[in-house]
Structure formats: structure tokens, C-alpha cells
Amino acid sequence: MIDFEATSIAIILFAFLIFIFAYWKDATAEGFSSDRIFDSVFMIAIGSFLGGKLLFRNLSVDYIKYQLLTSPFILEGILIGGALAVFFAIKKNRWDGWKIGDMLAPALSMYQAILFLGFFIRTGQLSMLILLSGFGSLTFFIRYLKTNHKLGSSTRYFELKRLNRLTFTGGLFATYLTGSSLIAILFLLTHQNFSNWFWWFQFSFYFFILISSLFLIKRRLNIEGIKMNSFIEKIKSILVRRSKQIDKDINDIAENDPFNVEASDGHRNEDELGEEVQDNQQHGISEAIKGELNDEKDMIKKSLSKLEKGTYGYCIKCGKAISEDRLKANPTAEYCMACENKIAK
């Protein structure tokens, strides 16, 4: 429980401001509208306030009249109220819940770290220091996943997908849920109070979140695994099919080449000069087409080996990712649209 006096309010407000800034910065970088993000911040603030004040109490008219403002916050109430507000914001804005979860996770964990830092400085309690180090480590771990493994970033999502690497929307959110519920469970175990029903409620509450988050991680990883492979598999099958078609075409050309036809007859009529000129011409055309087809085959081989190595889909001039639409239309494209246009000029 968090008491409701001036210093506590100041700590909560300061931490909440940092939360708003981190959430807003990440979400707008991902293309979410600034107005709607602030709109959802407002909903989260109302939701967590009401949750923290109204849930898990014997509600009476007197409580609401005289004690609502002065009563301490109940942390689990804040979490449930805030989560409901996020749920409504997602429905209202038709957001992708997993993506918003990834935007909220770093901000939430930083919010809790700052909160417990403030309370530790104020009270000097060892329990606050434990919570501070728990959420501090979680914040660093989530930041590490975000910057080094590009989790929760959709601009990198398509690049990673193209490289046939693991992508994971909801990864930061799931990490936050697992980490924060583990911290809470460890905290409760060091502060046992078996005779208190609320202790048991808290314990089951965080245990439920922990199990659900582990289940969600497993499920999300399977879904992303399927999504991730579909683009690569599509490109691969287009390339292999085209390569087989080329082999067939080269064979057909060889069969129709007058040089080869006559070679299989075992003799050439040296006297009929006109026919030989014609044959020479035909042979020249066949060779030219064969040359083009072989060049295309080399390009396909190159693309297939790039797919294996995970370097497929990048412009060899500027290094930027080539758009998926361009790659679907021209799977062996080596330049992005901009560079291609520059070269053509």
C-alpha cells in the first residue's frame, strides 16, 4: 500500500511524468498519433487512480465522502484499473494491443523503478531497495532487448523478417509481465503473511500473471515464427520455379539449334550455302537467348545464396532495405527503387 501524503504524491507524479514521456517518445517514434497517445495517458491516469482507490475495499458512502482522497493506494488496484484503461484505449483507437504493450513496457518498468527509488530515499526501507533493484534491472534488460535485439520496433520488423531472423511483437510486453510478476512474487515470499487473505490474494494475482505471460510468450513466438517464414518461403519458391523454367528453356533451345539438330543427324550438307547462312543466323540467336537465360540463372543462384546467408533484400549500392513489393515483382533485384532510377538516368 502507498500512503497518500505530500512527498508520496510528489514521487508518484514525478514518476508518472517520466512514464508519460517515455511512452509518448517510443509510441510516436513507432508512428502512433501524439494526440491519441496523450488521450490514452489520460485514460490510464483516471483508470489507475480509481482502481487504486476503489478496488479491494469495503465501499460505503462514507468512504467515498470522507476517505477517498486520504486513503492509501492499493497497488494491485492501480494495476487492474490501469490495465482496464489500456484495454479501452486499444479498443477505442483500434490499436494493435501487442504493439502498444511493447510501447508501454519500457515506460512502465521505468515508472516503477523511479517510484521505488523515491520511496527508498524517503523511508530508507530495505524492502524498497529490493524493489528498486528489481525494477531497475528489469528496465535495463527491456532497454537492452529494445536497442540490441530490436524487439518492439516495427521499422526493424520487416528487415528482420526478410533476414529470416526471429521477430517478436509483444516481446517487450511479455518480458515486462514476466519480470514484474517475478519481482512481486519474490517480494511477497520475503514478506510472508500466511494468515492474511490479502497476502494470498496478492500472491495468486502475480502468480496468475506470471503463468499467463509465459503462456503468451510461447504462443506469440509460434505465431511470429509462421509469419516470419512466409515472405522468405514465397521468394524462395518463386526463384526455384523460375530456375527450373530456365533449365527447360535452355534445353528446348538446344534441341532446336540447327547446329545441334544436324550434329545429331551425323552430317552437314556443306554444299547448300544458303541453308548454312540461315543456320548460322539461327544458331547466333539461340546462343544470345541462352546467354541471357544463363545470366538470369546466375542472378537467381546469387539471390538464393543471399537468402541462405540472410543478406537478401538489401540494395548493394546504398545498403537500405528494398521494398517487399519490389522484391515480389522482381525477386532478384539488387538495387532499391531510388538507386535503380539513378542508374537508369
> Looking at beta carbons only, is 273 or 343 nearer to Zn ion?
343
314 forms beta bridges with 321
| Cβ atoms 228, 164 nearer than 8 A | yes
The residue (of 277 and 318) whose beta carbon lies closer to Zn ion is 318
Instruction: Let me know: does 289 contact 253? Beta carbons within 8 Å.
Output: yes
Does residue number 315 form part of the binding site for Zn ion (CB under 5 A)? yes
Give the C-alpha distances (Å, rounded to integers) separating 233 from 113, 227, 324: 43, 10, 13
* Cα angle value 48/26/184 (rounded, 5°): 45
The residue range among 144-152, 159-167, 263-271, 331-339 that interacts with Zn ion, by the rule CB under 5 A, is: 331-339
Number of H helices, E strands in the chain: 13, 0
Least distance from Zn ion to the Cβ atom of residue 341, Å: 10
Cell digits of residue 33: 498519433
Least distance from Zn ion to the Cβ atom of residue 339, Å = 3
Q: Does 336 sit near Zn ion (CB under 5 A)?
A: yes
Inter-residue contact 142 to 293 (CB < 8 Å): no
206 within 8 A of 184, measured Cβ to Cβ: yes
Measured from the Cβ of residue 199, the count of other Cβ atoms closer than 10 Å reads 14
d(CA 76, CA 56) in angstroms, rounded, equals 9
Considering only the stretches 64-72, 90-98, 201-209, 317-325, report the one whose residues sit in contact with Zn ion under the rule CB under 5 A: 317-325
Please report, as residue ranges, which positions from 25 to 54 form the binding site for Zn ion (by CB under 5 A). none
Stretch that binds Zn ion, among 124-132, 212-220, 243-251, 315-323 (CB under 5 A): 315-323
Report if residue 339 touches Zn ion, rule: CB under 5 A: yes
- Quick check: 321 binds Zn ion (CB under 5 A)? no
Which CB sits closer to Zn ion, 68 or 316? 316
- Cβ 316 to Zn ion, closest distance in Å? 8
User: How many residues contact Zn ion, by CB under 5 A?
Assistant: 5
Q: Which of 154, 35, 165 is nearest to 101 (CA)?
A: 154
- Residue 316 touching Zn ion (CB under 5 A): no
Stretch that binds Zn ion, among 23-31, 58-66, 92-100, 310-318 (CB under 5 A): 310-318
Binding site for Zn ion (CB under 5 A): 315, 317-318, 336, 339
